[in-house]
Structure 1
Amino acid sequence: MRATLSRHRRLLAAVLAAAAAALGLAATRPHPRRVPVLVAARDLPGGTALRATDVAVRALPARAVPEGTVRRAAGRTLAGPVRRGEPLTDVRLRGGTLLDGADPGAVATPVRLADAAVVRLLHAGDRVDLLAARAEGPLPARTVAAAVPVLAVPRPGPGTGTGDGALVVLRTDRAQAAAIARAAVDSRLSVAIVG
């Protein structure tokens, strides 16, 4: 019985010694090189103008870093939505204008909506009907532009109150832009979000 126990102890000791040696060798192996990369600090919708608080720096293994990662993101605009932790690359950021990739006849039309709270519901990529209603008279609201996409929802500047309404940028054609400008002179503008 003692001989059997002695053999098992020796075998267990040999296994433990081999495991300790393997762990020691693994600890001395060099770790893969890590590269600092800008990632989204949280889920962000498309059209977001990035601020420093919207991005974070994460160290990723060099082999996991995608092509086209950017070194500066603040002030640039997202071309589409990104998930928290997703590396920011050149294809995730817009180039120079709001109309990149749009039809040749498209224009970016800034519109001041009467109700700032409505603008907080909008995101780049939403489609809206732009409505104009006159304060005087029993006339119903009229549709000035139908199913136009939202290009951007600029953050309000300092000193901008909710009584001033809020700005949204829509992609329209030139005729719609002219109709919107006419309606803005004597009507309150609002939107209905459409599918």
Structure 2
Amino acid sequence: MATRDLPARVRDRLTAVRRAVLRRRRLLAVLCTVGAVAAGLRATAPPAAPTEQVLVAVRDLPAGAVLDGDDLHTVEVEPDRTPDGVLTDAEDAAGAILAAPLRAGEPVTDVRLVGPDLVDSAPGTIALPVRVSDAAQVGLLEVGDEIDLLATDPESRTTTTVASGVLVLAVPAPDQEAPDAIPGRLVVVGIPVATVADVTGAAVTSFLTYAWTSR
């Protein structure tokens, strides 16, 4: 009996499926149309624009900050929006010292780090770290200041100008681990090659201070 009823049950099931399809034919037609349109759009859509990875600051960072992995992250940008000298590898920036403040989301470039690339912003000069005798004086400086470097001889008590119109390139944070025998504080300046010997010699024999350049 069950065997004789099997064809009838199959016919009934097929009839039910056909009726369900007919009842929903409009919905199925719409779905098929949407699928076809989506496939066509994917086929004709232009390829994704190329991007490059660059390092940007996670948060605002002050001048003199020593960079580590928590300070930076990688973002994708269009090639024509990538600044020159931008860093792309966090390992290249790890341990570097910021020469100037960096805003959150701002790319990290070579001229923002303490090093020889700083002089790119001051053609005709070289970057030279000098130790100003009064650390508090250095705290008044900002990147971009123009100063005259003054040397005071402790024996003759005379002061001379050893370099004029010096550009402040970086103001590193104080080294808390520096021995007490080394007073003052370092500042990185851009000076002409011809004045390097005078400045470095004065830094050893005299007290170095500065005066802002008159404009």
Question: Equivalents in 1 of 2:188, 2:163: separation in Å?
Answer: 13
Residue in structure 1 matching 2:119, options 99, 109, 112? 99
After superposition, the C-alpha distances for 1:153-189 in whole angstroms (9 at most, x for unaligned) are: 2332623448621222211112211221332343211
Aligned-residue offset at 1:125:
2.0
Equivalent residues in 2 for 1:28-43 (5 A)?
A: 38-42=56-60
Q: Contact 2:98/2:114 (CA < 8 Å) preserved in 1?
A: no
Residue in structure 2 matching 1:70, options 72, 88, 97? 88
Aligned-residue offset at 1:69:
7.1
Question: Equivalents in 2 of 1:180, 1:54: separation in Å?
Answer: 37
Does structure 1 residue 55 correspond to structure 2 residue 71? yes
Q: Secondary structure at the match of 2:136?
A: helix
The 1:88–1:142 alpha-carbon spacing in structure 2 relative to 1, beyond 3 Å, is same
Report the equivalent of 1:189: 208
Question: Equivalents in 2 of 1:182, 1:154: separation in Å?
Answer: 22
Question: Equivalents in 1 of 2:169, 2:123: separation in Å?
Answer: 13
Aligned-residue offset at 1:114:
0.9
Question: Equivalents in 1 of 2:139, 2:201: separation in Å?
Answer: 25
Does structure 1 residue 126 correspond to structure 2 residue 142? no
TM-score, scaled relative to structure 2: 0.54
List 4+ stretches of structure 1 deviating above 6 A: 62-65
Q: Contact 1:125/1:149 (CA < 8 Å) preserved in 2?
A: yes
Equivalent residues in 2 for 1:12-23 (5 A)?
A: none
Count of matched residue pairs = 154
Q: Contact 1:126/1:149 (CA < 8 Å) preserved in 2?
A: yes
The 1:114–1:101 alpha-carbon spacing in structure 2 relative to 1, beyond 3 Å, is closer
The 1:185–1:88 alpha-carbon spacing in structure 2 relative to 1, beyond 3 Å, is closer
The 1:177–1:150 alpha-carbon spacing in structure 2 relative to 1, beyond 3 Å, is same
Question: Equivalents in 2 of 1:138, 1:79: separation in Å?
Answer: 33
Residue in structure 1 matching 2:190, options 154, 171, 178? 171
Q: Contact 1:41/1:54 (CA < 8 Å) preserved in 2?
A: no
Letter paired with 2:164: A
Q: Contact 1:77/1:94 (CA < 8 Å) preserved in 2?
A: yes
Equivalent residues in 2 for 1:109-148 (5 A)?
A: 109-137=128-156, 139=158, 141-148=159-166
More divergent stretch after superposition (71-80 vs 111-120) = 71-80
The 1:161–1:118 alpha-carbon spacing in structure 2 relative to 1, beyond 3 Å, is farther
Q: Which runs of 5+ in 2 are unaligned?
A: 1-52
The answer to which structure has the higher helix fraction is 2
TM-score, scaled relative to structure 1: 0.58
Report the equivalent of 1:158: 177
Letter paired with 1:147: G
